[in-house]
A and B are shown apart, each in its own frame.
Chain A
């Protein structure tokens, strides 16, 4: 953290067509270096997959990009916003970045529609009707229009995952992060889901 604050505030030269730029990113847990000097540049419209054995820091890397983990060194620039130790920048970055989790982490007390409506209503001050229209649009896009009133506990793994995607899309992010999105699904669903992403002309 202190390394970040003492860093000169000179803006990093990031080309306009780069969505995510990481330079020399470090993350330590105690003495363990989870990320040791990661350099990465992801262009706009580019889709990339990060592979590696478990414990190699894939999740840590992805979680640093939207500030769920604070990096200990190096610089992260997302959509032109540099992640610093100031709280405001993390919030700014999160408005640009959507994330789908390994275990989906849907809100269990809200139905599929309400899951999608929560963030647009709270962050962007949309009215109930506006948020509902937006949520319906994205839920239809993931073919869940028939299940919008169901609570997460009543949805299958694949359906939950699509709600999670719709929920992220409702914030209309420029960047979408997926953290092992198919590992909680059975093989059939995981192939189906990967196939549907391939058709998407959006992510990253």
Chain B
């Protein structure tokens, strides 16, 4: 015994299986993020529409799918839809007959509902004056959206998007209830075989952690690239201080300067 709550041999032996599970999780995440985002745009436009009916429909969608727990949504789609004869015999059964289809549909709808709101908030944050300036230049509404509103909205919404993606990734663990062997399901399987409650779960947690932080680093780099206009490449170089002071000396110096100014 090593004194650690984890069995290192088991951890090493189960790593290949866990990595396969992680690959499944990555696929579930990627597909749901893709479909969810694609769905969020039209729903967002409807939500922001001046027309009563589309706006109301979109709002209902958001209220429903943001409020519905993914787990229950997944149960409803996977077990509930199978009870409907018309659906079971219809063409859509290809989608709803498979665990993957149900999982992607349920997760995409959930993600789309959140993304609609993030997108809407970001678009509303674009200053009115900047849109007016583009209008005054005679730029068409379509081009204003593509070249002014969206580039700015992405910058405003990036942090919220990152938050949503990170919590979404961890939320995808629910797909194990509909027989998809994602990372959480693999870890659970190992636990059931070995009765070791800690090793597989902690290993899975470490892999989730690594995945989430890779995504976070990706977002950070993207954000830094987008905010390059805030970075100061053009300003004259800051004069290099002669014998850079230690913190204590720096504080004393600031104190002296302040004293002089005051």
Which residues of A come within 8 Å of B, CB atoms? 66, 68, 91, 94-95, 97-99, 101, 103, 105-111, 118-119, 122-123, 147, 149-151, 153-154, 164, 167-168, 171
Q: Do B232 and A107 have beta carbons less than 8 Å apart? A: no
- Some 17 contacts from A to B, beta carbons below 8 A apart, are A68-B135, A95-B138, A97-B136, A105-B130, A108-B152, A109-B151, A118-B147, A118-B148, A119-B137, A119-B139, A122-B147, A123-B139, A123-B140, A149-B234, A151-B229, A154-B232, A167-B137
Q: Do B151 and A150 have beta carbons less than 8 Å apart? A: no
Tell yes or no: B49 within 8 A of A by CB: no
Knowing A101-B133, A103-B129, say if A153 contacts B138 (CB, 8 Å).
no
Given the complex of chains A and B, what is the CA–CA distance between A83 and B151 in angstroms? 31
Given the complex of chains A and B, what is the CA–CA distance between A123 and B127 in angstroms? 22
Q: Do A171 and B132 have beta carbons less than 8 Å apart? A: no
Chain B min CB distance to A174 (Å): 13
Which of A109, A154, A171 contacts B235 (CB under 8 A)? A154
Main SS class of interface, B: helix
1/0 contact trace for B134-177 toward A, CB 8 Å?
Answer: 11111110010001100110010000000000000000000000
Which of A94, A95, A168 contacts B135 (CB under 8 A)? A94
Given the complex of chains A and B, what is the CA–CA distance between A119 and B148 in angstroms? 11
1/0 contact trace for B221-249 toward A, CB 8 Å?
Answer: 00000100110101100000000000000
- Chain A contacts of B232 at CB under 8 A? 154
- Chain B contacts of A167 at CB under 8 A? 137
- Interface contacts (Cβ under 8 Å), in number, total 75
Interface centre among B130, B132, B133, B139, by most A CB within 10 Å?
Answer: B133
Give 5 nearest A-B pairs by CB, closest first: A94-B138, A105-B133, A151-B229, A119-B137, A99-B136
Interface size class, chain B: 20 to 34
Q: Do B136 and A94 have beta carbons less than 8 Å apart? A: yes
Knowing A94-B138, A118-B139, A154-B235, say if A111 contacts B229 (CB, 8 Å).
yes
Q: Do B138 and A109 have beta carbons less than 8 Å apart? A: no
Which of B127, B138, B143, B230 contacts A105 (CB under 8 A)? B127
Chain A min CB distance to B157 (Å): 14
Q: Which residue of B lies closest to A121 (CB)?
A: B147
Which of A68, A91, A106, A154 contacts B132 (CB under 8 A)? A68
- Chain A contacts of B134 at CB under 8 A? 107, 118-119
Knowing A105-B130, A105-B132, A122-B147, say if A94 contacts B137 (CB, 8 Å).
yes
- Chain B contacts of A106 at CB under 8 A? 130, 133
1/0 contact trace for B83-116 toward A, CB 8 Å?
Answer: 0000000000000000000000000000000000
- Chain A contacts of B137 at CB under 8 A? 94, 98, 118-119, 123, 167-168, 171
